[in-house]
Amino acid sequence: MNDANIQTHHRVCHLCEAMCGLVIQTEGDAVIDIRGDRDDPLSRGHVCPKAVALKDIHEDPDRLRKPVKRIRTAAGAYQHVEIDWPEALDLAADALASTIEHHGVDAVGAYFGNPSVHNYGMLTHQRNLFRHIRTRNRFSATSVDQLPHHLVSLWCFGHMLLHPIPDVDRTHYFLMLGANPLASNGSIWTVPDVRRRLKDLKARGGKLVVVDPRRTETAELASEHVFIRPGTDAAFLLAMIHVLFRDDLVSPGPLAAFTDGLEEVGEAVRELTPEWAAPLTGIEADNIERIAHDLANAEAGICYGRMGVSTQAFGSLCQWAIQVINVATGHLDKPGGSLFTRPAMDQVVNTNPGGFARFASRARGLPEFNYELPAATMVDEIRTPGEGQIRLMFTGAGNPVLSTPNGRALDEALEELDFMISVDPALNETTRHADVILPPSSPLEHDHYDIAFHNLAIRNTARYNPAVFDKPEGVMHDWEIFSELGERLAARLNLEPMPSYPPDRLVDAALRSGPYGDDSEWQLSIETLKAHPSGIDLGPLAPSCPERLQTPGQRIQLAIPEVLEDIQRFKRETSTLDDHYRLIGRRHVRDNNSWMHNHHRLMKGKPRCQLLMNPDDVEKEGWKPGMWVTIKSRVGSIEAELAASDEMMPGVVSLPHGYGHGQAGTRGQIANRHAGISCNDITDEQYVDQLSGNAAVNGVSVRLSARLAA
Ligand SMILES: Nc1nc2c(c(=O)[nH]1)N[C@H]1C(S)=C(S)[C@@H](COP(=O)(O)OP(=O)(O)OC[C@H]3O[C@@H](n4cnc5c(=O)[nH]c(N)nc54)[C@H](O)[C@@H]3O)O[C@H]1N2
Ligand SMILES: Nc1nc2c(c(=O)[nH]1)N[C@H]1C(S)=C(S)[C@@H](COP(=O)(O)OP(=O)(O)OC[C@H]3O[C@@H](n4cnc5c(=O)[nH]c(N)nc54)[C@H](O)[C@@H]3O)O[C@H]1N2
Ligand code: SF4
Ligand SMILES: [Mo]
C-alpha cells in the first residue's frame, strides 16, 4: 500500500466530557494514527491518553459484533451464544410485550449508563422504545453522580440542564471542591486542556484553591490545597455564606434585580459560624474566613464543586450552597465567573425543565427526578413483591453491578428477574446476566454531534463529524436498535410506532431552528458543519440573565424550603459522627468508569486498584504498605492491597471504582487480568443524599482490619 490509501478523518472524542477534536488516519479498515485536532476551537489540539483507545475499542476482539442470547449448557452453567438480529429483536420484544401484558409497564425496569449521554443516537432514539414503556422504574447513572446539580439548577434557575459553567480562562480566583479535572478532564464543565488553563490562571496572578480529602493531581497544581473531612463540605460552604453576610460582603450587583430569597438564606446561616464549621470539617475557622473574603473580593471568581460534593450525604445542600455563594458574591453570569452557555442545539429550550418528587419509589419512598428513581433503590424495586415489582430489566450502556452502591446485591438480584435485555457492546459484570444482548456499532462506525456537552462547555462551539468507517453488513447502530425494538413492541401491543429519522436529521432540524440557525448570520446546519470538520467557534460565554432563566418571572430563587430544612438534617446528623475511617473514590486519567479496562495501553503501568491511606494511619495501625487489608462496611467486606500516601487526609482511605472484573461469564481478557475489586461492593445503598436520593459513594463509614492469613 502507499500513502494514497491513507485517509484522514475528523472526529470528536466522545469518551469523556472534554469533547477533544481528533484527526484520525486510516488505511483500509485499520486506524493508523489518532492525534489532537489543532484547528478545533475548543480543544486546540489537546488530547489525553484515552483518545488512542478509540482504536482499541473499535478493534477489541472481545467486543460483541453480533447479538447473543444466554443458554444453559448441559453442565448447568450459563453461556452466551451468537444469534441473528431478527431472532434477538423478537426475543427482546416478546419478553417486553409479555411482561407489560401480564404485569403492567412498571414491571419493566430500565437503567441507562453514562455512555448513553455520549452517544447522540442513544439520546435521540431511546424514546422510540420507551414511549411505549412509561414505567416508573427508570434509573440511570445520574443518581450515582450529578443528580444534585440538576435538582439545584431546576430549583434556582428553572431548568435541570441550566448549569453555571466556570469561565476558567478569564477568572482570577477559583475555589474548587470535590473535583479532580486533571484526572477526569472536567465534568459539568467541558474544558479540554484543563491543565494548561489552570496553569494560565496562576500565571496571570490568579489563585486556584482546591478543597479535597486527598491531595489530588489538581490540588498539587493549585495555589493552595485544603483537606476536608469527607461529607462535611456543607459546613464549610454554609460558614462561608455566614461570613459573607457577617462581614458585609454580600454584593450580588446586577443579579440583585432578579434574585429572590437571599435575605432568608442569610437568616438561615446566622448561627453557622466558621467556629461551628471548623471541628466538623477539619478546616480552621480563620481559613474559612479568609477563603470567603478572597472569593468575595476577587474581581471575578468561581465556586465550583463536582462529584466529591454531589455524591455524598449532603450533595444537594452543597450544590445549592455553591450557587448561593456565586450569586451572593456577584460572580454568577459575569465573565470570569460562572456563566450559562448558549449552545447551537440548546437543550434548555429543547427539553422539558424536569420535575421532582411527583411520585416516590414503592419500597423506600425515595423521590423521582425527571421521571427517574434513585439507582440506590433499584434492588429494592426488583426484590419487593407486589404491584410494580420489576420483573424484566433493560440496561443500556451501563454497568450498574460495578457502578451503583451495594453492587453485589444487584449482581444477585439480576438473577432473580424473569428476563433481562442489554444494549451494550460488552459482556461485562452486568450484561452477563442478560438473556439477550444487543450490541451496537463501534463509535467509529457512526457519526457524532455532541448533544449533551456543548451545553456545558467553556466556549460556545459546534462540531459534527461523519462516521470514520462505513457500518459493516449486519451491524446496527444504537438508535436503530431502539427504533427497531420500539416498532416490534408497538406491533405486539397494538400501538402506533413512533416515526424514526436518523439522528443527524433531528440534529439538523434543531440546529436550524436554534440560536445560530436559519434566522441568524451563522446559518448552522449539518451541511455547514460538514464544511467545517474541526468545528465552528461561536464565541466566549456571555452574560445572559435574566433572559436565560427559566423560572417563573425569570428570577433566581435561593430560599428553597427543602434545602433550608436540610440544614437542620445536616446539624442533626453531623452531631453524632462516628470516628471510623471514611472511604472516598479516586479517578485515574487512563480509567473511564468500569468500561475501558480491556485495552492494553490503558492498563500498563503500576496497579491502580489499591487502598490509599495516610502513612501515619498505616503506622498507627501497625501495618505495612503492600499488605492486604479487609475493608468492612454495613453491607459487606472486600480486601485490598494497602498503599501509603501522604496525599490522603488522616482518617480517610481511597479506592477507585469500576474494578471488580474477572467474574464468570464475562468477556474481557485484559480487564479480567487486571480484575481488582469493586469498591461498590461495600458502598451502602442506604447511604444517600436524603434530599435527592443521590447515592453517597463518597464518605462511606468503613472499618479496616489486617486480612487474616489464609
Ligand atoms: N464508588 C463509586 N461509584 C461510582 C462513581 C464513583 O466515583 N465512585 N462514579 C459514578 C459515576 S460519575 C458514573 S457516571 C457511573 C458510571 O456508571 P455506568 O454508566 O453504569 O458504568 P460505565 O462503566 O460507564 O458503563 C459503561 C457501559 O457502557 C457500554 N458502552 C460504551 N459505549 C457504548 C455505546 O456507544 N453504546 C452502548 N449501547 N453501550 C456503550 C460499555 O460497554 C459499558 O458496558 O459510576 C458511578 N459509580
Ligand atoms: N480518567 C477518567 N475521566 C473521567 C472518568 C473516569 O472514570 N476516568 N469519569 C467521568 C465521569 S462519569 C465523571 S462524572 C467525571 C467526574 O469528574 P470529577 O468530579 O472531577 O471526579 P473525580 O476525579 O472523581 O473527583 C472527585 C474528587 O472529590 C474528592 N472527594 C471525595 N469525597 C469528597 C468530599 O466529601 N468532599 C470534597 N470536597 N471532596 C471529596 C475526591 O478525592 C476526588 O478528588 O469524570 C469523568 N471523566
Ligand atoms: S480528555 Fe476526554 S475527550 Fe479528550 S481525548 Fe481524553 S477522553 Fe477524549
Ligand atoms: Mo459520571
Q: pLDDT tens digits, residue range 65-123?
A: 999 999 999 888 999 999 999 999 999 999 999 999 999 999 999 999 999 999 999 99
Assess whether the previous peptide bond of 546 is cis (omega < 30° from 0). yes
Average pLDDT over residues 595-604: 94
338-348, pLDDT tens digit by residue? Answer: 999 999 999 99
Predicted confidence band at 649 (pLDDT cuts at 50, 70, 90)? very high
CA distance 628 to 582: 18
Q: Is 660 helix (H, G, I), strand (E, B) or coil?
A: coil
Q: Are residues 624 and 507 in the same domain?
A: no
CA distance 444 to 54: 8
CA distance 374 to 428: 22
C-alpha cell at 538: 461561536
For ligand 3, what atom is nearest to the CA of residue 22? 5
Number of H helices, E strands in the chain: 24, 30
Question: Are 321 and 237 a contacting pair, CB within 8 Å?
Answer: yes
Angstrom distances, CA of residue 547 to CA of 8, 60, 309, 338, 568: 42, 48, 29, 16, 34
Ligand 1: which of 424, 479, 679 to mutate, judged by most atoms within 8 Å of the beta carbon?
424
**What pLDDT is recorded for position 709?**
63
Q: Is residue 341, in this structure, part of any structural domain at all?
A: no
CA distance 699 to 687: 9
Average pLDDT over residues 306-312: 98
Q: Are residues 558 and 629 in the same domain?
A: no
Residues 6+ apart with CB under 8 A from 6: 25, 26, 27, 32
CA distance 122 to 116: 6
Residues 6+ apart with CB under 8 A from 386: 362
**What pLDDT is recorded for position 2?**
61
Q: Is residue 350, in this structure, part of any structural domain at all?
A: no
CA atoms 671, 672, 673, 678: torsion sign: positive
**Ligand 3 proximity of 190 Cβ (cutoff 6 Å):** no
Q: Are residues 127 and 242 in the same domain?
A: no
CA distance 181 to 219: 10
Å from CA of 403 to ligand 4 middle: 10
Q: Are residues 312 and 381 in the same domain?
A: no
Q: Is residue 154, in this structure, part of any structural domain at all?
A: no
pLDDT at 126 over 60: yes
Q: Is residue 73, in this structure, part of any structural domain at all?
A: no
Q: Is 620 left (phi over 0), alpha (psi -120 to 50) or beta?
A: alpha
Å from CA of 473 to ligand 4 middle: 33
Where do runs of H (alpha helix) occur along 193-258?
A: 194-203, 217-221, 233-246
Average pLDDT over residues 38-57: 97
Question: Are 695 and 441 a contacting pair, CB within 8 Å?
Answer: no
**Ligand 1 proximity of 274 Cβ (cutoff 6 Å):** no
Ligand nearest to the CA of 658: 1
| Spatial CA neighbour of 596 closest among 9, 2, 14 | 14
Please tell me the residue having the least CA distance from ligand 3 atom 2.
Answer: 16
Q: Are residues 517 and 656 in the same domain?
A: no
Q: 546: how many CB neighbours lie within 10 A of its CB?
A: 16
Its pTM stands at 0.98
CA distance 216 to 206: 20
Q: What are phi and psi of 592, to 5 degrees?
A: -145, 95
Please give the single-letter amino acid code of residue 183: A
Q: Is residue 249, in this structure, part of any structural domain at all?
A: yes
Q: 249: how many CB neighbours lie within 10 A of its CB?
A: 17
Give the residue carrying C-alpha cell 431478527: 86
Terminal Cα-to-Cα distance of the chain (whole angstroms): 58
Residues 6+ apart with CB under 8 A from 579: 651
CA distance 123 to 116: 7
Ligand nearest to the CA of 20: 3
Share of the chain above pLDDT 70, in %: 99
Q: What are phi and psi of 100, to 5 degrees?
A: -65, -40
pLDDT at 367 over 90: yes
**Ligand 3 proximity of 192 Cβ (cutoff 6 Å):** yes
Å from CA of 260 to ligand 3 middle: 39
**What pLDDT is recorded for position 576?**
81
Domain enclosing residue 472, as ranges: 87-132+374-538
Question: Are 674 and 624 a contacting pair, CB within 8 Å?
Answer: no
Q: Is 627 helix (H, G, I), strand (E, B) or coil?
A: coil
Question: Are 458 and 167 a contacting pair, CB within 8 Å?
Answer: yes
Å from CA of 21 to ligand 3 middle: 9
CA 638, 594, 215: angle at the middle one, nearest 5? 75
pLDDT at 514 over 80: yes
Residues 6+ apart with CB under 8 A from 598: 56, 60, 62, 426, 668, 669, 670, 671
Ligand nearest to the CA of 19: 3
For ligand 1, what atom is nearest to the CA of residue 430? 44
Q: Are residues 234 and 275 in the same domain?
A: yes
**What pLDDT is recorded for position 341?**
98
Written as one string, the DSSP assignment of 396-451 is ES--HHHHSTTHHHHHHHHTTSSEEEEE-S---TTGGG-SEEE-B--GGGS-EE-T
**Ligand 1 proximity of 114 Cβ (cutoff 6 Å):** yes
CA 158, 162, 166: angle at the middle one, nearest 5? 135
**What pLDDT is recorded for position 710?**
53
For ligand 3, what atom is nearest to the CA of residue 47? 5
Predicted confidence band at 152 (pLDDT cuts at 50, 70, 90)? very high
Please tell me the residue having the least CA distance from ligand 2 atom 37.
Answer: 178
Q: Are residues 35 and 116 in the same domain?
A: no
C-alpha cell at 616: 501515619
541-585, pLDDT tens digit by residue? Answer: 999 999 999 999 999 999 999 999 999 999 999 888 888 999 999
CA distance 350 to 632: 46
pLDDT at 303 over 80: yes
Average pLDDT over residues 126-142: 98
| CATH number reported for the structural domain that contains residue 562 in this entry | 3.40.228.10
**Ligand 1 proximity of 681 Cβ (cutoff 6 Å):** no
Instruction: State the burial class of residue 547 (Cβ atoms within 10 Å of its Cβ: 0-12, 13-18, 19+).
Output: exposed
**What pLDDT is recorded for position 633?**
98
Predicted confidence band at 3 (pLDDT cuts at 50, 70, 90)? confident
- Report the DSSP beta bridge partners of residue 695: 688
Q: Are residues 186 and 236 in the same domain?
A: yes
Q: Are residues 41 and 91 in the same domain?
A: no
Per DSSP, 20 falls in state -
Please give the single-letter amino acid code of residue 376: A
Q: Is residue 365, in this structure, part of any structural domain at all?
A: no
CA 683, 416, 313: angle at the middle one, nearest 5? 20
Residues 6+ apart with CB under 8 A from 539: 459, 460
CA distance 19 to 11: 10
Q: What's the mean pLDDT when you consider all of the chain?
A: 97
**What pLDDT is recorded for position 708?**
74
Q: Are residues 282 and 419 in the same domain?
A: no
Angstrom distances, CA of residue 391 to CA of 106, 209, 423, 687: 9, 48, 18, 25
For ligand 3, what atom is nearest to the CA of residue 14? 3
pLDDT at 208 over 90: yes
Å from CA of 367 to ligand 4 middle: 20
State the total domains in the chain. 4
| CATH number reported for the structural domain that contains residue 52 in this entry | 3.30.200.210
Q: Is residue 203, in this structure, part of any structural domain at all?
A: yes
**Ligand 2 proximity of 643 Cβ (cutoff 6 Å):** no
| CATH number reported for the structural domain that contains residue 488 in this entry | 3.40.50.740
Q: Are residues 482 and 628 in the same domain?
A: no
Question: Are 185 and 18 a contacting pair, CB within 8 Å?
Answer: yes
Residues 6+ apart with CB under 8 A from 232: 277, 280, 281, 282, 574
Q: What are phi and psi of 487, to 5 degrees?
A: -65, -45
Per DSSP, 492 falls in state H
Q: Are residues 314 and 192 in the same domain?
A: yes
Q: Is residue 162, in this structure, part of any structural domain at all?
A: no
Average pLDDT over residues 243-266: 98
